[in-house]
Structures are given as C-alpha cells and as structure tokens.
Amino acid sequence: MVIERRSPWWRGSVSSDLAEFLVTFSHGQVSEIVPARCDGCGDSVFVVGIDDEREYAVRRCAGCDRPRVMLGGTDWAEVQRAVCPCGGELFEVAAGFTERIDGELGWVYLALRCTTDDVLGLYGDWRITVRPTRKLLDLV
C-alpha cells in the first residue's frame, strides 16, 4: 500500500508499510528489515516496551501473551510501554538495520504501526556496538 504522509503523523494501512517507513526515515540507509512475528502463534500484533538507556525493546504477543526480549535486552523491568498518540497500545513491529562497510550491522531503527489508527512511528534507534552484530537479526 502507499503510506499517507499527512502532518503530523504518517499512516500505513498494512504491516509492510513499516518497511517503506524505515527506508524513508533512514534516508535509504536501512539494508535489512525484519518484521516481528510471535514464535508461539505466528501473530504480528504486540504490546511493546522500550528501554532507551540500555538500547533494547520487549514485546508481548496480543494473541497468545508470549513475551520476547528483542535486540539483545534482558528483561521487562525497566522498559517504558509504547503508546500511540491516539492512546493505542497494540502495534505491528519491524526493525531496520544499517550495514557498515565491514559487513557488520551499524544501527537499528525500531518502527511500530498502531493497529488502532494506523499511525507509523519510530520508537527507538540505537547504534550497535556489541559484536557479533548479525545475531540481532534473529532477536526481533
């Protein structure tokens, strides 16, 4: 689908719009995009928590309530729950990664699409400093 780019919020009607949003937001620097799917039931809608200080996120499946720590984090203790401007707390999730010249991943962008009003947003972006970096692709 096409992202609706009216101010102040961009909207996407399908989960694949997250990929276009990530590429646009990163000015084409994102080379790998990983959409989140529940390991238990395969659902793609989550409650999401972000820890900006420790640079990771967590998600809990809306379908089966299965938790998952994303992007190398450790637990739910310090996360702040993601909330859309509309107040919605259920999201589709995708992570976009940039690649450095040496083939390692350099940066991660965490994008969410609110399932209540379709607003797209960037909820986290962190420089990747721990190696090996490619393991993060499996931690979305």
pLDDT at 78: 72
For residue 127, give the amino acid letter. R
pLDDT at 1: 55
Distance of alpha carbon 97 from alpha carbon 50, whole angstroms: 17
Distance of alpha carbon 100 from alpha carbon 107, whole angstroms: 9
CB 70 within 8 A of CB 58: yes
125-138 pLDDT, tens digit per residue, is: 999 988 888 888 88
For residue 121, give the amino acid letter. G
Q: Where are the beta strands (DSSP E) in 3-81?
A: 10-11, 30-35, 46-51, 56-61, 67-70, 80-81
Average pLDDT over residues 103-118: 95
Q: In what helix (H) or strand (E) does residue 96 lie, and over which residues does it extend?
A: strand 91-99
40-97 pLDDT, tens digit per residue, is: 999 999 999 998 888 889 999 999 999 999 987 666 667 889 999 999 999 999 999 9
pLDDT at 6: 74
Sign of the CA dihedral 56, 37, 66, 86? Answer: positive
pLDDT at 50: 92
Residue 15 in tokens? 């989960």
